[in-house]
Chains A and B, each alone.
Chain A
Amino acid sequence: MLGRCGATTLDDLYADVPDALRLKEPYRLPAPMSEPELERYFADIASQNRRLLCFAGAGFYNHYTPAAIPSLMARSEFLTAYTPYQPEISQGTLQYIFEYQSMMAELTGLDISNASMYDGATATAEAMLMAVNSVRKKRRILVASTVAPAVQQVLATYAAGPGITIEVIPEDGGVTDRTAFEAMLGAGDVAGVIVSQPNYYGIVEDYDGWADTCHSSKALLIMNCHASTLGALRSPGEWGADIACGEAQSLGMPLNYGGPYLGYLCCRENLIRKMPGRIVGATTDAEGRRSFVLTLQAREQHIRRQKATSNICSNQGIMTLHAAFYLALMGAEGLRKVNTLSYNAAHALADALCDTGMMRLKYPDKPFFNEFAIETIEPLSADALLAACLKKGILAGVRLSDSSILVAATEMNSPADIALCAETVKSLKS
């Protein structure tokens, strides 16, 4: 079997792991501890964590988690439920997935949603695979440079195997260069175009006409959006996109040092057979009662094998449940309100920071949502600003360069929080 994979030894299979990360010696684990000793050991480590005032975003946002959600999620019927392959014993699971799908389809303005993906980056990679599998013989994918760097890296990882060529559309003044996009598209062989909304800088780009331009070259338009913003911004469907995908963490999921999060993937009806992952459908049972089942399973890799669009055969069940609870609890109005409060907080913060005279917006003429790129004015540096704020218990943003940071705000940031951040920056005036 090693030979079949083109390897000689088992170690050859790990060729992609950098040497610096490989295990050279056995693990040095401490001696066993009793339960109380163990509890104390971890409590001591955990007590070193600091709770910071969060103005960092870059794709993941500190929105409020309504208490009802973890309370309901912890119910063992939900927490320990397995894959709903047997509909006769899984109606609860199938129903919440169906409701999640329905709400995501509505938010994205598209026809179909699947049962979820692992996270926003892999959902975007799967959208890329869908495009290549839907548009015959075309293997180029154009990605806007204003798509988050981490997402671009995951796209590159997924493109390597099937031999897909990814080309980055350059940006100009914080937004995607439309002229460059049209020229790159015109060169032919493009299966899909991936853009973000809002983009990595928090800017709401004008994608008017992009869908038509893509379609006239027989390419698909894929929009990567933070799920929460779908409750206030124009939907991907309204922009004419064929596929919408992205990170759903912003639906009140705790930041949790990086996860678990949730990827969503939605598309127009004509692409349903290319959609990877699980799909739940509504039907009637033998007695005519409404019931739910996993459907269109012949798409999936356990049946389609190497012809399937993807090898995914799972979904992020527990976080899908979180998303379903969050959306049902908040409703369209609540979601809109979260966005309004976040938008207002970000704009108030941007104004307060600029008023210090120490900072200026990097793209002052571009509309931003609840996140913005801001520059430090010399002699202040990004690192000095971040360090000073950290001392005051503030996570001021994500470093973009020596002299710029990406700053976000949500409904969790009060006027007092914003004032504290601005004061801290002002205090750096030497």
Chain B
Amino acid sequence: MEKIYYRSSHEYIKADGTTGYVGISEYAAKQLGVVTYVDMPEADDEFGAGEEFGAIESRKAASDLFAPVDCTVLEVNEDLESNPKLINENPLEAWIMKVEISDPSQLDDLMDQEAYDAFCASEQH
């Protein structure tokens, strides 16, 4: 059963067992503006929780992307190469990388939807 978790740096992971889809949240996509480029990793790359796995660029800013949990990249979303704006259209569907989660218990360290929404509300001062 799929459940969504969020990191405080606004990446999400939609996890189902040991498979996860990582992307950026609606809040982040809105803050960033029109995405012009996504610097993605390659299949078989491994990242630790909190390790930088890529970057996302809009017209005015470039932000690093951080892995929500220890993982190994299975696939990257090639559609984003030709159409990065998909992230703005539907961030939760336009995942950046599909990963194998090494330690599912790390998901408990992340925020669920409710906690994340509250977090975002408090971020906006």
A interface with B by C-beta (< 8 Å):
136, 273, 298, 303-304, 307
Chain B residues closer than 8 Å to A303, beta-carbon distance? 60-62
Residue in B42, B59, B64 whose beta carbon sits within 8 Å of that of A298 in the complex: B59
Measured as residues with beta carbon below 8 angstroms from the partner, the interface class of chain B is 10 to 19
A136–B42 alpha-carbon span in the complex (Å): 10
Asked if B60 contacts A273 (CB within 8 A), the reply is no
Q: How far is the CB of B98 from chain A (nearest CB, A)?
A: 19
Chain B residues closer than 8 Å to A273, beta-carbon distance? 37, 39
Q: How far is the CB of A304 from chain B (nearest CB, A)?
A: 5
Nearest B residue to A273, CB-CB = B37
Q: How far is the CB of B58 from chain A (nearest CB, A)?
A: 7
Given contacts A136-B42, A303-B62, list 13 more A-B pairs with CB under 8 A. Answer: A273-B37, A298-B36, A298-B37, A298-B57, A298-B59, A298-B60, A298-B61, A298-B62, A303-B60, A303-B61, A307-B55, A307-B62, A307-B64
Q: How far is the CB of B56 from chain A (nearest CB, A)?
A: 10
Q: List 5 A-B pairs, minimum CB-CB distance, nearest first.
A: A298-B57, A298-B62, A304-B62, A303-B62, A303-B61
A-B contact count (CB 8 A): 18
Nearest B residue to A303, CB-CB = B62
Nearest B residue to A305, CB-CB = B62
0/1 string, B38-58, CB within 8 A of A gives 1 = 010010000000000001011
B13-56, CB < 8 A from A: 36-37, 39, 42, 55
Chain A residues closer than 8 Å to B62, beta-carbon distance? 298, 303-304, 307
Residue in A136, A298, A304, A307 whose beta carbon sits within 8 Å of that of B58 in the complex: A298
Nearest A residue to B55, CB-CB = A307
A307–B57 alpha-carbon span in the complex (Å): 12
DSSP class of B's interface residues: helix, strand, loop or mixed?
A: strand
DSSP class of A's interface residues: helix, strand, loop or mixed?
A: helix
A307–B60 alpha-carbon span in the complex (Å): 15
Q: How far is the CB of A294 from chain B (nearest CB, A)?
A: 12
A298–B58 alpha-carbon span in the complex (Å): 7
B58-80, CB < 8 A from A: 58-62, 64
Chain A residues closer than 8 Å to B61, beta-carbon distance? 298, 303
Chain B residues closer than 8 Å to A136, beta-carbon distance? 42
18 A-B pairs (CB sep. < 8 Å): A136-B42, A273-B37, A273-B39, A298-B36, A298-B37, A298-B57, A298-B58, A298-B59, A298-B60, A298-B61, A298-B62, A303-B60, A303-B61, A303-B62, A304-B62, A307-B55, A307-B62, A307-B64
Q: How far is the CB of A244 from chain B (nearest CB, A)?
A: 24
A303–B61 alpha-carbon span in the complex (Å): 6
A136–B58 alpha-carbon span in the complex (Å): 23
Q: How far is the CB of B38 from chain A (nearest CB, A)?
A: 11
Q: How far is the CB of A306 from chain B (nearest CB, A)?
A: 10
The interface centre, meaning the residue of B42, B57, B60, B61 with most chain A CB atoms within 10 A of its CB, is B57
Q: How far is the CB of A297 from chain B (nearest CB, A)?
A: 8
Chain B residues closer than 8 Å to A307, beta-carbon distance? 55, 62, 64
